[in-house]
Amino acid sequence: MRKIIRSNPRLHSSTPTWAIAALSNQDVVEYQPLDPINLTIEGAQELALNYRLSNPPVRGLHFNPETAQLHGTPEITDWAEAETSRELISTFHAEHAGSGQTNQQEVRIKVLRDLDKDGIPDILDEDIDGDGYTNAEEERAGSNPRLHSSAPTWTITATPAHQEIIEGQAINPITLSNSAELNLSYHAELPTGFSLDGNQLQGTPDFGWLDGVETTEITIPITATHSSKDTAETQTTLRILRDTDSDSAPDILDSDDDNDNFSDEEEIRAGSNPKDPRSVPATPRLGSLTPLTVSNNQPIQPLTIPATSALPAEIAVTGLPEGLSATGGVISGTPQVAWEGRETIRHFTVTVTLTDSAQRVDTATFTLTVTRVGEKKPPVGTTVVNVLKTPGFYALPLGFLLLIPNPAITGFIHGLGAQSPLLYAAPGEVSLPQLIIGLIGVVAGAFTVVWKFLWQQR
């Protein structure tokens, strides 16, 4: 390039004064073009100058002597493993062709290595090799942050991986972690009532139950994604115990699931729903009890008390006359009314109480009338004697007849139980000295008489 600098051509001592203007050093990122460096001459006169560059820079940079410009993109192929930058020093020369006068200026070009060619020099790049993992992550994981093919391998874990909880109660928070201590984003298809905040999964299960189901198991799949687009999966499992009445006792251990004061067993037996507090066993009910008339000293036809109860129940009967009793809801026996004077009829108000196992009660009453009509009476001329004191004709306790026709026979009776209605026999009905003893049995099914008769000829 020729620069014309004016001086006095007639004066030997008058020579041009000139110099290359100072050059600015430059940093350039590898694979990025250099800002062109142009030489300028300082001086008041014009000269014809030639330019050259010593210590030529690396491949990719070019110097044009005609334009006095250095330009291009530096290419360094011999980087050392840990090298992050390299400084290139070049010297520009300007020479006057006639006088041989020269001037020079040095420039420094610093090339900043960019391993992953992302335009960010390695000294500033958090992911030098461009594999999606930060240098710090790779150092923690033990992989090479300067080698793209060397990346962390990792898994994720949910802690706890399994837990058992009671319906209506919050789960123990589940913490998600990874083996390489990476910065991850987590995603999960969450059931109703759950949330995922960062690496914390928490919540309270909220869902409907199918009939007959006491427990259920929920599996929550979880996916972790790294900025490198790498992913990993895990899961956590929740076993949920149903708690219909929210009393913190799971139904599988609760004897009264719906807290209606009826046990599940009672409700199932009664046909009501043990999961619904509005559904309870039917209330015990007594049927219609109509007035009843019976004859004194005559066994009655057993009377079954009409009653319905969804639960086990007991029937209590009060107000019965002597000789009648109730067992298992059946009234039976032989009425024994001790008449007063010319009394021929007596009314009894009988109360029946039905009580189920839940202590629910139904009560009813009916009138039982005992009459002398049909009562067996002694024939005319009959003598009634005390069997334990006087020989002769006797009536045994509990309805058994002892006939002793000859007063010479002495009888001794030993019996158990209460006195029953007497039966009579007239003197002289039996002519032979013999003993006729009636049957041994149970009156009204309530007790048994054991007796013994010893006799001898006087």
pLDDT score at 444: 31
pLDDT score at 98: 79
- The answer to whether residue 251 is domain-embedded is no
Q: Which residues span the domain enclosing 447? A: 393-457
For 90-140, the pLDDT digits (tens) are 999 999 887 888 999 999 999 999 999 999 999 999 999 999 999 999 999
What DSSP assignment string belongs to 158-212?
EESSEEEEETTSPPPPEEEEETT---EEEEE-PPTTEEEETTEEEE-------TT
pLDDT score at 28: 96
φ, ψ of residue 455 in degrees (nearest 5): -145, 160
- The answer to whether residue 379 is domain-embedded is no
The burial of 325, by beta-carbon neighbours within 10 Å (0-12 exposed, 13-18 middle, 19 or more buried), is given as: middle
Q: Are residues 299 and 354 in the same domain?
A: yes
Q: Are residues 170 and 103 in the same domain?
A: no
pLDDT score at 455: 31
pLDDT score at 376: 55
Q: Are residues 366 and 312 in the same domain?
A: yes
pLDDT score at 47: 76
pTM equals 0.57
At 312, is the secondary structure helix, strand, or coil? coil
Among the ranges 14-28, 293-307, 403-417, which has the highest mean pLDDT value?
Answer: 293-307
- The answer to whether residue 235 is domain-embedded is yes
Is it the case that residue 369 has pLDDT exceeding 50?
yes
Q: Across all residues in the chain, what is the average pLDDT?
A: 81
- The answer to whether residue 132 is domain-embedded is no
- The answer to whether residue 377 is domain-embedded is no
φ, ψ of residue 93 in degrees (nearest 5): -120, 140
pLDDT score at 27: 96
Q: Which residue has the higher pLDDT, 315 or 100?
A: 315
DSSP code at position 113: P
- The answer to whether residue 271 is domain-embedded is no
The type of residue at 369 is T
- The answer to whether residue 230 is domain-embedded is yes
